[in-house]
Amino acid sequence: MAKEKKFVEAITAMDVDFAQWYTDIVKKAELVDYSSVKGCMIIRPYGYAIWENIQKYLDSRLKELGHENVYMPMFIPESLLQKEKDHVEGFAPEVAWVTHGGHEELTERLCVRPTSETLFCDHYAKIVQSYNDLPKLYNQWCSVVRWEKTTRPFLRTTEFLWQEGHTIHATAEEAQEETIRILNLYAELCENVLAIPVIKGQKTEKEKFAGAHATYTIESLMHDGKALQSGTSHNFGDGFARAFGIQYSDKTGKQQYVHQTSWGVTTRLIGALIMVHGDDSGLKLPPKIAPTQVIIVPIAQHKEGVLEKATELKNRIGNFARVKLDSSDKMPGWKFNEYEMKGVPLRLEVGPKDIENNQVVLVRRDTREKEIVSMNELENRIPQILEDIQNSMLESARKLRDEKTYTAVTMEEFKDIADNKPGFIKAMWCGETACEEKIKEVVGVTSRCMPFEQEHLSDKCICCGKEAKHMVYWGKAY
């Protein structure tokens, strides 16, 4: 362990100070820089490349499912924002307002979008007339602004990047199907691409989105035992449709309100990647999302033929993986540490000895296992290793999460676990907000979700002792 620490002195050890560890990684791996605007971050090329990979996957999957991308204005007139009561109330404390255009005060102030429900609704009301116009499956990639009090790179910033889908449907059933379809897509993104295991479930009344009929969520667990809401999908029912007058005439000529959904994931997912997979040497990226999957480090590159061979390998590997060659004058050891810190899944070392033996050295980031491979085998072996890294990262993340998931039946147990063992706690709940609030006050945890996969831990609500209606995942959350 002491040896490991020596590798990367720049990063604070996780168990010494988790928050500092996170900040160190974010900066040292060159994901972000702080900007001159409070709470706003500069996403640097390496960080943005991760986001682009998330976008690529999600965007193509959404399009396969029939969604279309649009772009809405970043400003919302105050009157428009106020049309749905719960919605405004939910967002009012964190909206930024534009009051002036040039030197002139605006007659109506404009809000910088914290989310675009109202804009989509306003637009849908105009373009929808008949059942033939439905469904509308719109998605938008943009940034939104929420005036947060406490900010942290990726996890909570004043401005953040996201994707927001807004769909309208003829029936409640279709809207519900869409809501769940997207939740499943998000879960797939997390598990299959980001190697982050998630719990799918429904938010309680207290935790649901402002103005929603029901909110569904995927919850993941970070290395420090805190939960992170990683994506949400909302069924609005016809609440917004009524507030905004989004109606269509059905086949019988009757006016009906549409049924609506909205859903989003944000750059927060990058924070999840860091906190689920990272270790004391830095970031650890699953191959499917890593901007660079293979880094080639030439050894004694000044010697005859080394750089030529490294370049040749780069070109070959480039046919099936995202590869980079670092031919800078830095020491090989320096490069090893640098790319470990940046979480590059696989390192390929090639030096004079290797060339002599027609081999290379491959080193995995996740396990640090070293493997000598014949140069003839790269096309076979590298994809295998990358796939294996992808799978085993998901497995170890799942194992860690399961180890940090506890069960409580009494309040004493509940409190004891919450105080001493950071992680998810499963406990039964009667469904009353009063109990939820009391649990927060007494135990110090919030409800994360009512998982789709329910378990019967006891007949009674852990708080009031009345009949239990749901098993709930509780925890401290980001």
Partner RNA sequence: CGGGGUGUGGCGCAGAUGGGAGCGCGCGUGGUUCGGGACCACGAGGUCGCAGGUUCAAGUCCUGUCGCCCCGACCA
Chain residues in the site for RNA (CB under 7 A) = 7-10, 19-20, 22-23, 28, 34, 38-39, 93-94, 146, 148-158, 160, 209, 229, 232, 264, 266-268, 281, 299-302, 329-338, 340-341, 349-354, 360-361, 363, 368, 444, 477-478
For residues 134 and 306, which CB has a smaller minimum distance to RNA in the complex? 306
Q: CB-wise, 315 or 357, nearer to RNA?
A: 357
- Closest separation in Å from C-beta 371 to RNA: 11
CB of 39 to RNA, least distance (A): 5
Q: Where are the beta strands (DSSP E) in 275-387?
A: 294-298, 323-325, 346-350, 359-364, 370-374
Following DSSP, what letter does each residue of 134-167 receive, concatenated? --EEEEEEEEEE---SS-BTTTB-SEEEEEEEEE
Our CB check for RNA shows the closer of 268 and 288 to be 268
Q: Please identify, using beta-carbon distances, which residue of 170 and 389 lies nearer to RNA.
A: 389
Closest distance to RNA from the beta carbon of 436 (Å): 11
Nearer to RNA, 342 or 426 (CB): 342
- From the CB of 339, what's the least distance to RNA, in Å? 9
- Give the shortest CB-133-to-RNA separation in angstroms: 29
- Concatenating the DSSP letter of every residue in 231-275 gives EEEEEEETHHHHHHT-EEE-TTS-EEE-EEEEEEEETHHHHHHHH
Angle formed by the axes of helices 45-64 and 172-188, to 10°?
140
Give me 94's structure tokens. 């964190």
Q: Residue 441: count other Cβ atoms within 10 Å of its Cβ.
A: 8
Cβ at position 268, least distance to RNA in Å:
4
Between 131 and 147, name the residue whose CB sits nearer to RNA: 147
Radius of gyration of the chain (CA): 25
Q: Between 360 and 461, name the residue whose CB sits nearer to RNA.
A: 360
CB 461 within 8 A of CB 428: yes
Question: Of 57 and 154, which has the nearer Cβ to RNA?
Answer: 154
Give me the phi and psi of 202, to 5 degrees please: -110, 145
Sign (positive or negative) of CA dihedral 354, 355, 359, 360: positive
Identify whether the C-beta of residue 125 lies closer than 8 Å to the C-beta of residue 136: no
Cα(58)–Cα(62) distance, rounded to whole angstroms?
A: 6
Query: Who's near 291: CB < 8 A, 6+ residues apart?
Result: 46, 49, 50, 53, 285, 322
- The minimum distance between CB 91 and RNA, in angstroms, equals 9
- 8 Å CB contact between 217 and 232: yes
Residue number, 135 or 211, with CB nearest to RNA:
211
Question: Is the CB of 9 or the CB of 412 nearer to RNA?
Answer: 9
Contacts made by residues 360-363, CB under 8 angstroms, sequence distance 24+: 360/313, 363/336
Is 258 or 360 the residue whose CB approaches RNA more closely? 360
Shortest gap between Cβ of 369 and RNA (angstroms)?
A: 10
Are the CB atoms for 182 and 175 separated by under 8 Å?
no
Q: Apex CA 449: angle with CA 219 and CA 269, to 5°?
A: 20
Q: Smallest distance from the beta carbon of 181 to RNA, in angstroms?
A: 19
Cα separations in angstroms, 17 against 30, 263, 285? 20, 34, 21
CB 259 within 8 A of CB 207: no
